[in-house]
Structure formats: structure tokens, C-alpha cells
Amino acid sequence: MMAHLAIADLTHRPELFVFLEAVVFAAFYVRATIGFGSGLISVALLSLSFPVKEVVPVVLLLDLLGSILLGAYDFREMHWRELTWLIPGSLVGLAIGALVLAHTHAQRLTLFLGIFILAYVVYAIVAKPERMPRIARAWALPLGVFGGIVGSLYGGGGPPLVAYLQMRHLDKRAFRATFQAIALTDNIVRGGLYIGFGLLTWPLTVVFAAMAPAAALGLYLGNHLHMRINQRMFLRATLALLTAVGVKYLV
């Protein structure tokens, strides 16, 4: 594959276009099903062939689309009090992560993230996700900061935010809805930061436009599955995805 994400690659290499469409569709199918994961999945797979600094801005725009669509669909299910400290913490973390992304190699920082994710998964399995203790709302601030940093570096701040929302014992619909509110705020702020740092360019925006239909289809079909699965299956699906992401970052 070519070394850069550009519209020329899509028009001259059909297999590249199919690969990108398949990754985006799968990522956003998962996003609609369990509420998060599109950024982490997309960046994890696409960064195997393309530079992280080009993949992340494209995925940001796709995630913004996903946040708007799912957020509008789930608007009445959002738990606004959970956002009191999560959003301010996320904004601080986003600024820190954008600076790091602009001035260093994000791949060097994946080891700590992988350890954190897998440690949480082990804890959740031992404690059983539906029986985990309910943590205080004060944890929203540090986990929000951590989530913001992860979001800037890897295209999705899911793991720390998932840990917080799971341990606040939100049901699946409220979990997905509340996560979209955080994600939407993060996406908008990250977009401004990426433009300011010169990370989001017109050619990458064109790539986003080409990938948007696949993302929308994934969201539509994934939402049907979300409405059918029960709470226990939902919790286990989130842990399974976190495990895969954690292993990927360690490897």
C-alpha cells in the first residue's frame, strides 16, 4: 500500500479503497453496537499501513459523524450529571495529547495504555462487570484527562471513559448515549487543535468524505444489534473489545 492517505491512492488503487471501506464499516458497526471503539479499531488497523499522523485526523472526522448521528438518536438517554467532570477533564487531556502527537511518535506511548486496559479488563472479569463496585463521580476528572490524552494520540479515548461509565453502572442505552456526548465534545475540540497544528488538511478531508457512507452503513446496522442484545452480553462485548485493543497496544 501507499505510504500516505490521499485521494489519489483511492482513485488509482481500488484494493486500497476496498480495504479502507471495510475497516471503516466494521469499526462503526462496533461503535453502534457497544457505543465506542470506532476510533481505536480504525486507527489500530489503518496505522499498520499508513502514518498515525494522517490516519488519526481522518478517523476524527468519521468519529464526529458517528457522534452526531448516535448522539441525536440517543439524546434523551444521556446522563448529564456524569458529564460535569468528564468533559472538562477530557478537554485538558485533548490539549496535552495534541501537543504530544504534533511533536513526538505516538507509538512510543502505547505500552502504558495497553497495560492499563488489560489491568482493567482483568479486574472487571474477576469482579464480574455487572457486580463491580460503584465508583465516586470524582473519578470522572482524572479518567476524563486520561481519556482525552488517549483520544488525541490514538483517535479514540474509549478505554478510560468506558471504565468510568461501566463502574457508574449505566445501562447499555444510557452508556452509549453518555459516551456520545463526551465523544462529540472531544471531536469538535480535537478538530480545532488538529487544524491549528496543521494535522487536518484538505486531502485528508476528501478521504473522510469517501469513507463516510461506509461509516453510516455500519452505524445503521450496528444499531439494530444494539437494540437486541441484553445488558450482560453488552458488558461482555465491551470487555472483549477492550482486551483486543489492550493486546494490540502491547504487541
Dump pLDDT digits (tens) for 204-237.
888 889 899 999 999 999 998 888 888 788 878 8
Identify whether 1 is part of a domain: no
Instruction: From residue 36, give the alpha-carbon distance in Å to each of 1, 31, 165, 167, 221.
Output: 28, 5, 12, 16, 15
Identify whether 72 is part of a domain: yes
- pTM, to two decimals: 0.77
Dump pLDDT digits (tens) for 49-92.
777 778 888 888 999 999 999 888 888 888 888 888 888 888 88
Identify whether 35 is part of a domain: yes
Instruction: From residue 213, give the alpha-carbon distance in Å to each of 24, 59, 208, 221.
Output: 9, 13, 9, 12
**Nearest to 74, CA basis, from 130, 34, 26:** 34
**Whether the predicted pLDDT of 129 surpasses 70:** no
Identify whether 2 is part of a domain: no
Identify whether 164 is part of a domain: yes
Side-chain-side CA neighbours of residue 119 (13 Å): 7
d(CA 86, CA 52): 26
**Over the chain, what is the mean pLDDT?**
80
Domain count, the chain: 1
Identify whether 116 is part of a domain: yes
Identify whether 101 is part of a domain: yes
Cell of 78: 444521556
pLDDT band at 10 (very low <50, low <70, confident <90, very high): low
Instruction: Show the domain range for 144.
Output: 7-250
Angle between helix axes 172-196 and 140-154 (nearest 10 degrees) is 60
Identify whether 162 is part of a domain: yes
